[in-house]
Structure 1
Amino acid sequence: MTYDETWDRPHQPGEELGWQESDCYWFYDANTGVGGYQRIGQKPNAGTGQVTLFVFDKNGERYTVNDAFERDRPIGAEDRWEDGHQVESHRADALGDGRMRFRWDEPGSSADIEFYESFHTPRGWSKSSHEAKFMEAMNPGGHLEVSGRIKGQIRIGDRDYTIDALAHRDRSWGFRDFAHFDYRRFRMFSGTVGPELSFATFVCDTANGRTVSGFVVRDGVDEDIADLRVLVTIDADGLTSMGGTAVITLQSGEKLTLPYRPVQAYLTRFPANNGFLVDTISEVDYAGKTGFCDSIHNNNPARGTHMPDQSDTDIVAVDLGLSPSASYAI
């Protein structure tokens, strides 16, 4: 499939109760130290939606809202229109020309920001068919990945910021079969340093086998990956990534080695899938430039029979609401 602007707008739902559509993105502004992640997901046929929000100032506070798969919020016909959708105060609007406007208004945080520049043409996961069965279960309608820049206003607690940040956004639509997503291990590594390099990659081990997918784009030229390894330095809590290195093997055989350093992180629980994921917003280095990424990992001890809470970690955010930012300095 070749990108066109309809990818950015709501699609006609299929007949399945589990048909979903979601916008999510992650970002980091090194100048202000502000970054985060927002996801707006809808299941129109079920009349429900979910949100995830993690936003921080690394030297101030962080704010977390995370429905994961534990909370459904009601939505109606008025929450979905030609150019956008919303779940309560969390809203995404397609502005045309690949631009998106994102908003939220929570007691401890609010924002009005725009994804205004793309570093490459948006595209889906790997163009090869080796992961077709996995994609049929998770992204059958379509999927978009693109890196670029996001700007606007963000409030965290009583602090107001104007940001101009590196960002990566993700959009998907179609019937999602979570029964297929019985994962054993999951690693995702997506981000950008600018037009010189953007990347969207993941590896997922499920009960049905392993799926490797993704691509890199360098100066407008994209190439699918053949393999991904994310070597993570784990703190004593078994949850916190204190940094690491991603090794991306391209279809050509070339290997890119990308060291990264954590800034802030949060944990998403998936009790129905017997697991959890830790998202770590990080700085990443490539060819003398510093960019950002979201490195996602899980070690899934006891196959999820214990769901982590805040007492299990000293650094990763699990509790909802406003809390002090943690220091990842060693």
Structure 2
Amino acid sequence: MKDGQFVMLPRHELPHEPDGSRNFNESVYTNAFDTASPVGGWMRLGNRVNEGYAELSVCLYLPDGRIACQFARPQITSNDRFDAGGLSYEVIEPLKSVSMTYSGDLIIVEDPEALRDPASLFQGGQRLPGRAHWVHEAESPVHGGEPADDSVQTMYGRDFSLGHFNQHGRARGEIRVGDQSWTIDGRGWRDHSWGPRYWQAIYFYRLFIANFPNGDGFMLLKITDRAGRVRREGVLLVDGRYEPVLDLDVSTEWTGDRDPAFVRLGVLTANRKARIDAEILQLAPLRNRRRAGDEILLSRIAEGFTRFHWNGQQGRGMTEYIERLEDGNLAGFPL
């Protein structure tokens, strides 16, 4: 499959040969949310084989407001599979169906504010055995792929990933935490990327991912570099077809902790104008840190379980705000 800018073949579903860059990363991500109840979450595994570890992230939003999560850096020695630290990803049918499963301890977060001090949370937080599993079946085309040539801009920029694709789908599975369990019968979204990556390559961006009960959805990205240059990317999914975004406005209402609470989105495609409201129900205030010589580089990664309203429908999904943190200042706040 080739759309003039990107090439997407079944083999791109499988792990790629790492290049020589120390920070080569190959990442798979899925999210899934139940249609009938406010439960769901996301899982990500990013292989950094040239650094000898994988980035493991599991974040589950439970109906009572708790978050069950796990973050780890299990050791790996090859990039021939997505399977580390109890988290695994399987391609059932390329471009059509995948599954993701985590089995292991989960940290139970009663108050998301505890995530601002992860060292204390990881040391003394309550833990329960858990399992999350879901299967994604495609309900959309694949968006993205490998750039057709060196002139093509990638989704997040070539200093964050080279190849990248994503897809909306039907999601079914189960979440278990301790002796409680919840069924996932709804929809979700997935992506897969590969190439050199440091999180701090992102100056700031705002990402919105949603699914609606009738099968519509969207992925919307507004990304800004240090020089103030802005790109607006993404798609609306309408009646099983992707409509590329031509313009995107983002207006954020913030909490006193500088976290996003409510967002108003204006979207333009060749076929329609859309007004979308995003109410963040539960926020996981995460961060990423990296040592560069004698300097510690920090990024805020705010992951919000979100209820979206669009065209008379209510859907669920994720809001993700990433930005560099410099001298205590968030690069994108209050934009």
Which residue number corresponds to residue 20 of structure 1? 25
Q: Which residue of 1 aligns with 2:111?
A: none
**Of 152, 161, 168, which residue of structure 2 is paired with 1:139?**
161
Please name the residue that 1:261 is paired with.
Answer: 279
Whole-angstrom distance in 1 between the partners of 2:65 and 2:198 = 39
The residue correspondences of 1:79-118 to structure 2 (distance < 5 A) are 80-81=79-80, 84-97=81-94, 98-107=96-105, 108=128, 109-115=130-136, 117-118=137-138
* 2:298 aligned partner, one-letter code: N
Letter in 2 for 1:101: S
The alignment status of 1:205 with 2:224, answered yes or no, reads yes
CA deviations on 1:161-193 (whole Å, 9 max, x unpaired) are 221122011110122255643x1x321112221
Is the Cα–Cα contact under 8 Å of residues 35 and 213 in structure 2 kept in the other structure? no
The amino acid across from 2:164 in the alignment is: H
Secondary structure class of the residue paired with 1:7: helix
Deviates more, 1:218-227 or 1:123-132: 123-132
In the other structure, the counterpart of 1:285 is 309
Equivalent of 2:289, from 245, 257, 271? 271
Residues 301-324 of structure 1, C-alpha deviations (whole Å, 9 max, x = no match): xx443499xxxxxxxxxxxxxxxx
What residue in structure 1 maps to residue 195 of structure 2?
Answer: 174
SS at match of 1:271: strand
Contact 1:269 1:307 in 2 (8 A): no
Three-state SS of the structure 1 residue aligned to 2:159 is: helix
> For the residues of structure 1 that align with 2:218 and 2:274, how far apart are their CA atoms?
11
Separation (CA, whole Å) in 1 of partners of 2:233 and 2:153: 7
Superimposed CA distance per residue, residues 269-292 of structure 1 (whole angstroms, 9 cap, x where no aligned partner): 133443302111112122222222
Given that 1:275 and 1:307 are in contact with CA atoms closer than 8 Å, whether structure 2 keeps it comes out as no
Cα gap change, 1:179 to 1:74, in 2 (>3 Å): same
Once the two structures are TM-superposed, the CA of residue 8 in structure 1 deviates from its matched residue by 2.0
Would you say the 8 A contact 1:126–1:224 is kept in 2?
no
Structure 2, unaligned runs of 5 or more: 1-5, 106-127, 291-296, 331-335
Q: TM-score under structure 2 normalisation?
A: 0.77
Q: Does 1:155 align with 2:176?
A: yes
Go from structure 1 to structure 2 and tell me whether the alpha carbon gap of 1:132 and 1:167 turns closer, same or farther (over 3 Å shift): closer
Give the superposition deviation at 1:225: 1.3
Are the equivalent residues in 2 in contact too, given 1:127–1:224 (CA < 8 A)?
no
One-letter amino acid of the counterpart of residue 158, structure 1: D
Asked which structure has the greater RCO (Cα within 8 Å, sep 6+), the reply is: 1
Change (3 A) 1:127 1:243: farther
**CA offsets 1:16-35 (integer angstroms, 9 cap, x no match):** 22111111122221423211
Query: What is the aligned partner in structure 2 of residue 62 from structure 1?
Result: 67
The C-alpha deviation readout for 1:117-171, integer Å capped at 9, x for no partner, is: 212111218999784595222221x111111121112112321122112201111
**Distance of 1:191 and 1:135 partners within structure 2:** 22
State how far apart, in whole Å, the 2-side matches of 1:133 and 1:198 are: 18
**TM-score, structure 1 normalization:** 0.79
Deviations 1:186-214 (CA, angstroms, capped at 9, x unpaired) = 21112221565321121122214323222
Deviation at 1:40, TM superposition (A): 0.5
Fraction of identical pairs, as percent: 18
User: What is the letter of the counterpart of residue 83 of structure 2?
Assistant: Q
Larger deviation, residues 288-297 vs 50-59? 288-297
How many residue pairs are counted as aligned between the two chains?
292
